[in-house]
Structure formats: C-alpha cells, structure tokens
Structure 1
Amino acid sequence: MSTRTYLPYIACAAALCVAQARADVKIGFSAPLSGPVAAVGQDQYDGFLLGLESVGGKLGGQVTTVLREDDQLKPELGNQITRKFIDRDKVDAMVGLGFSNVLMASLPRIAESGTVAIATNAGPSPLAGAGCLPNVFSTAWQNDGTAEAMGKYAQDTGFKRVYLMAPNYQAGKDYIAGFKRHYKGQVLDEVYTQVNQPDYAAEIAQLQAAGADAVFVFYPGGMGVNFVKQFSQAGLGKKLPLLSAFTVDGTTLPALRDAALGTISGAMWDVALTTPGNAEFVATFAKKFGRTPSHYAAVGYDAARLLDIAVRKVHGKTADKAAFAAAVKAAGTELKSVRGPFRFNTNNMPVQNYYAFQTVKDGEKFGVKLLGTPLSQHQDVYVAQCGAK
C-alpha cells in the first residue's frame, strides 16, 4: 500500500509538498495494479492524482491523503480491501473499485456502511438497475454504453452479419447485451472466453469460418493486446472490420501499433476530442507521466475534480455520509468533464456522449480520429428499474 498526503502550494517551486500529516479528507483508491490489466488501474490512479494536483492537491480546500491498494482483479481481495478502507482506515470515499466482478463483490459492505464509492472503471447492470445505491457512483460508464454505441455504429454502417466475443464475467455479458440492443442484423455467434485468457487461436479459427461481415469484441488490458495481435497475425486485420470496446485504447495501443490500424472503438473519451480542457489535460498528463492518457486516466481525472466540488459543498464535513453522497450527486451537474456533456442519472450512472474512433497512423505515430457520435447524452436502459434516490 502507498499513502500520499497533499498540502497546499507553499514555497515548493510549484511542486506539491508531501508531509506526514493527518488529513482532513482520506480517499481509498483500489484497482488492478499488477498482472495483465495493470495499465488499466495505473492510468486511473495517475489520472486521479493529476486531477487532485489540478485543484491544488487539496479536495475542497482540505488536506487530502490517498491510500492505494492493488486488487489484482480478484473479487475476494477487492472485498478485503473495501473492508479495510471502511473499517480500519475510516476513509471518506473510495475511488477505483476495480472491474465489475470486483466491485460487485464489495457492494454489500459499501451499501451497509453508506461510504461514498466512485467507480472509475465499472458500471455493472445490477447496480444501474434495481440494485442502485445512493452512495455508489460511476464516473466511467454504465457497462453497456460503449457497446451500445458500437452496435448502433454497426447498424448504421450496414453490417449484416456480426460475430461477438467477450470474457465470461458480468461486464462481458453486459457488453454483449449492449451491442445487441442497437444492432438489428444477424448475430452469428456470441463467444465467452475465460478472464485473462492469453491464447485465442481456437476462437479466432472459429471466427474465420463463420463468414461474418464484422466482429465486435470487449477485451480490456492485456487480453486486448493478445487478442488483437493474434487477430492480425491470422491475417484478419485487413479483411474483417474489428469493432471493440476497451480493447484498443491508450493503454494497449503502444503495444499493438500496426496490429491495431483501422480498428474502430467505442468510447466516451479519447485524445481526439476538442472538448474544453481536453488538450490541456492530455498535454499535462503526457508531460508528467511520459505517455498518452487513456479514457481510464480521463475518468480518474474527472473523479478527483468531482470530489473537489463535493467536499467544498459540504465545507469539508464529510462525516455526514448521506449529505456527502448528495453533494457528490449534485457535483455531477457542475463538473466540467474533459469528455464533454456529463451528469449523473437517477441511478448515479453517467449521462454522456459515446463516440466512435478509428485507429490511424501519421508517419511513425499512432493515434485516433473521431468518426462520429453514435449516441449523444445517452442514458442506460436500467435507470427505470432504479427508484429515486
């Protein structure tokens, strides 16, 4: 575990001073920080720290400590970390909370405690619907959203026969369901693979034989690197349009390079957006961390700035958990997100745009271009199942 305490700018040559002081606000951050999807967690954490730095290193003007833990993409470990944050560390809010399977394992204790929890990489359908909670938010997405955008893109583009693939866990099922919600053509097959599976040769052989017009996949982190490289090595990269969600992004593109060219991704953010503040965020992140940010970093950045607004609304008095949760909800309408339009819906999931981006190459540099906005200020379909909170 690492702990960071931020103090205001004093005589530190415009750098953040670090001291061992008791914080007025304590944040527990957890994410997968090791293993095949470590880059996903690291970008969320770095984005959150940059967001904190952008508000002077203090949330709502209060001295802030950030505790960090690695959930290793293990639900049982994520649950242990959540209990530690709540019961021992007495955090004011938790951020990150891992993949959907990890978040779902932690929900009972989060619900019981009333502690504010902000997911920066998950929006599982049970939490968006009847299982919604007044103290649990996602600044990322409801899981289906990016897949719904790709389903609509596939429908609008005229693909008649599509093949679907995802890992076999809650988010994978949500993404497949989301794609089918807006795609009205023929689904040739939907294949669920093991989480963190390294070899997709058998599945790619089945895909080749299916006769699809396009394939849609959801493979985040290292899973995406392995799948896309093997897809390209099989000679499919130039033959079969590859649509994806969280497969080709800022965390995987440096490893994929030419293998990713031409792929089309659904996302709520990318560097190609010309939204207010986005160019500054991208440049500052790249300068500080030496790499291009991903949408995970953008979500982490927004989460810190959202908490800054919320802590200020309660004048630093975060002990009243219900009031603090209400402040987080209200802060969503004031947040100037780098992604563009943003607010929390009744179920505390984002209402936001979902864009389509294509991977391109300019000289030796790889990047993306914006193709369009399949879904504007989109609301998930589960919100009707959530009562007013």
Structure 2
Amino acid sequence: MTAHTPPARHRRFLRHSLAAAALLGALGASASFAQQPLKIGFIGTLSGPGGALGQDQYDAFMLALEQKGGKLGGVAVQVIREDDQLKPDVGVQAATKLLKSENVAIITGVTFSNVMMAIHKPITDAGVFFIGSNAGPAPIAGKSCSPFFFSTSWDNDQLHEAGGQLASDLGYKNMYVMAANYQAGRDAVSGFKRDYKGKVIDEAYTQVNQPDYSAEIALLQAAAPDAVYVFYPGGMGINFVKQYRQAGLLGKIPLISAASIDGSTLPALKSLAVGVITSAPYAPDLDNPQNKQFVTAFVKAYKRVPSMYAAQSYDAANLLDSAIAKVKGDISDKEAFRGALKAADFASVRGPFKFASNQFPDAGFYRVDVVAGADGAELKAVSPIDIKTRANFAAQCPMK
C-alpha cells in the first residue's frame, strides 16, 4: 500500500486503530462516518539525503495520533503513507493514488517545495483538504492560494525574512548567500534579501543534493564577507557544515542558516556544528506546556530530539484533531470544516498561533544557536526575531 513499510511500533498501532474502528462498526455505531476509519494520506520525502526530514514529519504525526488513541476529533483514523523520493513526478503519482485508489479525505505532510508545487493543484482541485506541514512555496501563499490548503509551517520567504532580519540585527554589513537551486532555495534568497539591510556580496545556487561544496566554499572565502547565510536542508546541510568546518571557516566567518541545522541534522554533525547561528520557527527548548510534553514524548518514542519538521507535523495532527471535533467527525460539509480549521483552536508547540487570510500561520520565529551539549551539541533558543518587512503574500491571495 505504501512505498515504505512503517516501523513495527507504527504497524502495531495502525492495526489496533483499525481493530478499534471495526469494533465500533460491529457495535452498531449510528453515524456512518464512525463505521469506517477516516483515511488520511501522508506524502513526504522518506528516502535519500532528505529522508530524515520526512521521517520526522511522519513520526510526529503518528505520535500525536497515538496519544489520542488512534483518533482525531474522536474519529478513528487510518494513515496511508507515500514516499515522494524528492521527485515531483513521484509525488504526483503518490497524490493520484491517494485520491483515486485510496479515496482519502485529507492529505498532509510534504517536505520539499518542488514536490509541493507539483501536487498542490491536483489535490486542491479535487476538493480534498491538504494540510502542509513544511514546504511553503511563495505562489501557493499568494495568487495560487486555495481554500482547501492550510499550512502549519510558514511560507518560504517568511522563513528567510527572519534570517535576513537576524543578520541585520547582528550587525553584519556584507553577506555571502548560498542555497540549493529549486523553488525553496530561490524563495530563500528572495526572503533573506528583503529583510537584510546590508550588502549581499554574492548569491550562489548549487544543485539539489550536491555532496561537495569545496569549490563554492573557496569562492566565498575569497570574497571575505562578514558572514555567510545558507539554506541547505537535510543531507545537504550536513555535508556543507562539515566541509565549512574542515575548511577552517566556522568560527572565522560566522555562519547563519535556516532549515540547515536542527533536530534532523544535528545528530550527524554534533560538535562540528557548534557555533552556527540559526533562524528558526521552532526550538526544542521553547518554554510552553505543549512543547514540553511533546519533546518528552517524542524523545521517549524515537530516542532523538524533534526537529522543526516534527513540530510542524505534530501541530498539523492537533489542528486536524481540533477541527474534526468541531464538526463532530463529519467533514462532508466542507465550508464548515474549513471554518473549523481556520479557527486553529489547538495548542501549538510554537506558542501563539493563528492563520492569516491565506491560511498560512501567523506565528513566531527565533534565533536558535548551536551550543555545546551532553551529546556534543544542542539547540538553544536565544531570542525572538521581529521581522520588520514582509512580502505579505496574503494580500495577493483572493480568499477572505
């Protein structure tokens, strides 16, 4: 049914969920939607250098579901997982399967923006609610927004507007900017430049999943910037930071990143990443009750610290839980269900959370430093980032 077999604990959990749903039907549950589990499709990058990101999304979603006894909003749920392999065409095949063969009611997940751009329209045109928990390409936050799409993460520009603001706040006058050459990478540079008040000496785009950055690192070193800003999620970030350290630059030319060092990549880098400054929508030490219990539960279940990908997907599950409960488990009235989602009546691990008119979050960003810790390194939230300039894609979105 899926491109990858779920871990044993998830298989047992899903079997128990389905058994519980079958028992409800046998007992003669009166509402038809209670007789069968609600099908939710999960699409994410679960293999290759970016696989850790999608795995964090999936694991966190399943953790939330397990905490709720296999139900969201009181309704038994079946999750059907698909690996897009970071390939847009594979993502389209996965979406088609979920829509036409599995008849899912909701789709969630999606790790990379090139896949999101390929599957957003087919899913929303089908009238299926789509809860994105990471990728946020600018077009779908603006002119191509849809009433069927909600995000629990950010639009790509916003993530890097925070990075540009942070670089300005730190007083760096000349920056060298690097990103992978795809939708999110181009959005990253655009967002960074919008809020950065100094001079961008150069901007370099590299291939997606490029393993060797030695030539680019030599060029940036020769440019002698005050600091470097990079966007390299997953395995790309691991390779870049290792090579930046090996070149003797970390500690010499400050490195600021977004979505490059977090709970998904830090275990591979450990002390090699100490000293990197990040702008992030999430940190494991954010001081709110929902986050504290989430981190404790995630570490207990998976023996690793959650990343922002995990946090955003956990929020997606809890958003769905709140909305399904509001419509008493009946999502057939799509306008009512959309209103329930827009209410965002759940406790986010990020703290205060609400939706803008384009159904992307209005939520906080933070300076998060990589510091020495018990396992070599850990992430420490230092201070909120006050983004001064926004692209305001919501103003371009025709929805109200």
TM-score by length of 2: 0.90
SS at match of 2:194: helix
Change (3 A) 1:15 1:348: closer
Q: Write the distance in 1 (CA, Å) between the matches of 2:391 and 2:290.
A: 26
Kindly report structure 1 stretches of 4+ aligned residues shifted beyond 4 Å: 376-380
Number of equivalent positions = 379
Query: 1-side partners of 2:44 and 2:181: how far apart?
Result: 20
Distance 1:34 1:247 in 2: 17
Deviation at 1:68, TM superposition (A): 0.4
Q: Which runs of 5+ in 2 are unaligned?
A: 7-11, 23-34
Shift of 1:114: 1.2
1:281 maps onto 2:294 in alignment: yes
Instruction: Answer 1 or 2: which has greater strand percent.
Output: 1
Q: For residues 313-352 of structure 1, what are the structure 2 equivalents within 5 Å?
A: 313-330=326-343, 332=344, 334-352=345-363
2:167 pairs with 1:154: yes
- Alignment partner, residue 33 of structure 1: 46
Per-residue deviation at 1:376?
Answer: 6.8
Measure the CA separation in 2 of the matches of 1:102 and 1:302.
21
Partner of 1:252: 265
- 2:366 match: 355
Name the one with the larger helix percent: 2
Q: Following superposition of structure 1 onto structure 2, how do residues 30-109 of structure 1 map, counting pairs within 5 Å?
A: 30-109=43-122
1:138 to 151, 165, 174: 151
Question: Could you say what the CA RMSD is over the residues aligned between the two structures, in angstroms?
Answer: 2.0
CA-CA distance at 1:64 after TM superposition:
0.7
Contact 1:120 1:140 (8 Å CA) reproduced: yes
Q: Amino acid of the residue matched to residue 336 of structure 1?
A: A
1:277 aligned counterpart, secondary structure: helix
Is 1:219 matched up with 2:218?
no
Cα deviation, residue 319, structure 1:
2.6
Q: Of the candidates 123, 130, 142, which is equivalent to residue 117 of structure 1? A: 130
Whole-angstrom distance in 2 between the partners of 1:377 and 1:184: 11
Moved more, 160-169 or 315-324: 315-324
Structure 2 partner of 1:9: none
State how far apart, in whole Å, the 2-side matches of 1:156 and 1:97 are. Answer: 32
Give distance in 1, aligned partners of 2:333 and 2:122.
17
- In 2, distance between residues paired with 1:295 and 1:141? 11
Letter in 2 for 1:367: E
Structure 1 residues 246 and 16 mapped into 2: Cα distance closer, same or farther (>3 Å)?
same
Q: Does 1:127 align with 2:126?
A: no
Spell out, residue by residue over 1:110-165, the C-alpha distance to the aligned partner (whole angstroms, 9 max, x if none): 23111000111111100111111100111111112221111111111110100000
- CA separation of 1:342/1:147 partners in 2, compared to 1, >3 Å: closer, same or farther? same
Structure 1 distance, partners of 2:214, 2:284, is: 32
- Distance in 1 between the 2:399 and 2:370 partners? 40
Would the aligned equivalents of 2:146 and 2:399 in 1 still touch at CA under 8 Å? no
Residue 363 and residue 299 in structure 1: after superposition, are their counterparts in 2 closer, same or farther (change >3 A)? Answer: closer
- Compute the displacement of 1:388 (Å): 2.8
State the distance in 2 between where 1:338 and 1:31 align.
21
2:18 corresponding residue in structure 1: 19
Which blocks of at least 5 consecutive residues in structure 1 are unaligned?
A: 5-11
Quick check: 1:191 aligned with 2:229? no
The alpha-carbon deviation at position 341 of structure 1 amounts to 1.2
CA-CA distance at 1:16 after TM superposition: 8.6
User: Greater shift after overlay, 316-325 or 372-381?
Assistant: 372-381
Matches within 5 A, 1:158-173: 158-173=171-186
Aligned partner of 1:8 in structure 2 is: none
Give yes or no for contact 2:234–2:264 (8 Å, CA) kept in 1: yes
Question: Is residue 125–residue 382 contact of structure 1 (8 Å, CA) maintained in 2?
Answer: yes
Question: Residues 161 and 389 of structure 2 are in contact (CA less than 8 Å); yes or no, is this contact kept in structure 1?
Answer: no
| Distance (Å, rounded) in 2 between the aligned partners of 1:388 and 1:92 | 22
